[in-house]
Amino acid sequence: MRVSKLFMPTLREVPSEAETVSHQLMLRAALIRKLASGVYNFLPLGLRVLRKIEEVVRQEMNREGAQEILCSALLPSELWKESGRWEVFGPEMFKLIDRNDREFCLGPTHEEIFTDIIRNEIKSYKDMPLNLYQIQTKYRDERRPRFGVMRSREFIMKDAYSFDTSWEGLDESFNKMYRAYNKIFERCGLDFKAVEADTGAMGGTGSMEFMVKSDIGEAEVVFCTSCDYAANVEKAPTFEAEILSSEDMKNIEKVETPNVRTIEELVKFFNTTSEKFAKTLIYKADDKVVAVMVRGDRDVNETKVINQLKCINFEMADAETVKRVTGADVGFAGPIGIKVDELLIDYEVKNTKNMIVGANETGYHIINANFGRDFNGIVGDFRNITQGDRCPKCGGSITINRGIEVGHIFKLGTKYSEKMNATFVDEKGEQKPIIMGCYGIGINRTMAAIIEQNHDEKGIIWPISIAPYKVIVVPVAMKDDEQVKVAEEIYNKLNDMGVETLIDDRDERAGVKFNDADLIGIPIRITVGKKIKDGIVEFKLRNSSEVIDIKVEDIYNRVLEVIKENIK
């Protein structure tokens, strides 16, 4: 492709709408343009990269025996009502109505559809195992689209679904996908880690997320510094520690604390540390109101609470509800005399003596409150693991980093097959539910993650495996006939060899061409300049500052070598 003809409107300045590096560079390098919040168009270079990533995914999925199909993105409501998720997804689903008043949605995911396909066609254990996948556009009306393509409302996802006759078979299908995912993200040049994850509303028995380490990641991941344990903080358990203080229970006492509400204010007011406090947070869980107690310096782990309550809807209670159950303004909730359906108490609160809690009376707190004597409830692990906690696996010390979730693999089990009656007949002639797994990769997000991890101040540094073009030939002076002639020769020959190559034949100054080449991140640059008189051109890799003089005739092997080294 000739750069003079390429639709590549690069931007010199950083668009003000973009905050993160990948978002800025995707805009600047003319990969994408925004249409609406969380909705993007892909320009030629962006599309090429997207297709490259898809191709890597496709190859590795096929290698593990998965078969590609393509479902519609426009889905009738019936299947969703059957599984119960028409309501569960709620406002996150783009719903629409056809001219005959029938309800549809734009697919946010496809468990129901794949289950439906299978139940209509598969009747016997002989038809399994089976793994079907698609690479297709998904729609989710996110509450808050973020960081460009990182969290958008329309995005491309590879979703695969496995169907097995036994739990052992599911394990095998799952392991195949685990293997495929590792290869895929390796080939994409990502520094990533597979971590244990919560199964969430999807249900099921096990799941792993593939996390790319990045400060802009929306997930927090726990890593053990001494063993291989890694998990989403949502998932990572904390354990009941020994009694934290041996002091005796003191007498309970009500203390006036006018306008002192937050833990910070309380710490100042009582002149103590936040470990001495227990905060009581009020939530609405489906039709119940529940309170959760954790130590003042801890965060409630909502996933753990949801799993305990087995509820679907879960949110912080509004001020009015708080008033109703506590009888006080927000900021004075406590366990004693609170009118909630459930009171959940974290281990640490149970094991700390003489805590300071809200009095359920505006302007008052209670000191020397003790579990068992003064209040009771369901005790368990309801807080986030934090720095200073021990590794759940080996007891070593942990670190917590942010990560971008680029892939997620799930053992679904029979959740959907039972609800939707997807069964098969086994060897003994018995009817059984099909055992399922599901496996997703966010293609657009993977693209953004690659840029987050592969860039410098000049622009993107694409790994060769997914670069939109592998080589860019830059004739320095378009007025120099010899430079142009040789550049054209190199360009034509490389393309004939099957190497995707650009030639920057624009009548621009060298600086402009170099800067654009760096911005769009082409891995190999061949500069044809003055030294062409001696049959020499320059060979430069985007990820290195080294410029090598090389004879024209040696270029071709050199390019092939570099490509071979970088693509397994």
Binding site for RNA (CB under 7 A): 10-17, 19-20, 23, 28, 34, 36-38, 92, 108-109, 138, 140, 142-147, 151, 157, 159, 199-202, 218-219, 302, 314-316, 408, 410, 438, 440, 458, 476-477, 479, 509-512, 514-519, 527, 529-531, 538, 540, 547
The two tokens of residue 243 are 């009694």
Helical residues (DSSP H) of 422-472, grouped into ranges: 443-453
Query: Residue 129 in contact with residue 163, Cβ under 8 Å?
Result: yes
User: Which 3-state string (H, E, C) describes 291-330?
Assistant: EEEEECCCCECHHHHHHHHCCCCEEECCHHHHHHHHCCCC
Shortest gap between Cβ of 394 and RNA (angstroms)? 28
Residues in the chain: 568
- Please choose, from the candidates 238, 181, 223, the residue with its C-alpha nearest in 3D space to the C-alpha of residue 440: 181
Task: Report how far apart, in Å, the C-alpha atoms of 32 and of each of 10, 27, 451 are.
Answer: 10, 6, 13
Report the 10 Å Cβ neighbour count for 451: 26
Q: How far apart are CA 293 and CA 382, in angstroms?
A: 8
DSSP per-residue string spanning 492-532: HHHHHTT--EEE--SS--HHHHHHHHHHHT-SEEEEE-GGG
For RNA, the closer of residues 216 and 356 by Cβ is 216
Name the amino acid, one letter, at 531: K
Residue 362 and residue 323 in contact, taking contact as beta carbons nearer than 8 Å: no
Q: How far apart are CA 347 and CA 369, in angstroms?
A: 15
What's the rounded Cα separation, in Å, for the pair 97 and 110? 19
**Closer CB to RNA, 96 or 227, in the complex:** 96
Nearer to RNA, 292 or 391 (CB): 292
Pick the closer one to RNA by CB: 452 or 518.
518
Q: Closest distance between RNA and the C-beta of residue 279, in Å? A: 14
CB 257, min distance to RNA, A: 24
* Nearest residue (CB) to RNA, 16 versus 120: 16
Q: What b/e readout covers 239-259, taking b as 16+ CB neighbours within 10 angstroms?
A: eeeeeeeeeeeeeeeeeebee
Cβ at position 336, least distance to RNA in Å: 25
Minimum CB separation of residue 56 from RNA in Å reads: 18
Q: How far is the CB of 370 from RNA (least distance, A)?
A: 29
Residue 33 CA to residue 46 CA, distance in Å, equals 10
How many CB atoms lie under 10 A from the CB of residue 556?
14
The smaller minimum CB distance to RNA, of residues 142 and 426, is found at: 142
Structure tokens belonging to residue 3: 């750069």
CB 12 → RNA: shortest distance, Å? 5
CA distance 176 to 162: 10
Token output for 540: 């430069």
CB of 354 to RNA, least distance (A): 29
Of 547, 520, 545, 532, the residue nearest 490 (C-alpha): 532
- Would you say 16 or 271 has its CB closer to RNA? 16
Residue number with CB closer to RNA (367 or 406): 406
Between 213 and 540, CB nearer to RNA: 540
Among candidate residues 177, 170, 175, 182, the one with its CA nearest the CA of residue 211: 182
In terms of CB distance, is 79 or 367 closer to RNA?
79
Nearest in space to 522 (alpha carbons), one of 513, 535, 530: 513
Alpha helices, DSSP H only, in 90-134? 111-121
**Least distance (Å) between residue 80 CB and RNA:** 13
Q: Give the residue among 355, 336, 372 at the shortest CA–CA distance from 245.
A: 355
* Least distance from RNA to the Cβ atom of residue 44, Å: 17
Which residue lies nearer to RNA by CB, 147 or 163? Answer: 147
- Please, what is the minimum distance in Å from the beta carbon of residue 362 to RNA? 21
Q: How far is the CB of 488 from RNA (least distance, A)?
A: 16
The conformation of residue 189, written as its DSSP 8-state character, comes to T
Give the residue with the Cβ less far from RNA, 327 or 380: 380
Between 92 and 240, name the residue whose CB sits nearer to RNA: 92
Q: How far is the CB of 353 from RNA (least distance, A)?
A: 29
Q: Hey, what are 252's tokens?
A: 């309970």
Phi, psi angle pair for 518, to nearest 5°: -70, -45
Residue 319: count other Cβ atoms within 10 Å of its Cβ: 11
User: Which residue in 130, 209, 135 sits closest to 436, CA to CA?
Assistant: 130
For residue 161 the two structure tokens come to 């679904």
The SS3 call for residue 184 is helix
CB of 173 to RNA, least distance (A): 15
Question: Which residue, 315 or 427, is less far from RNA as judged by CB?
Answer: 315
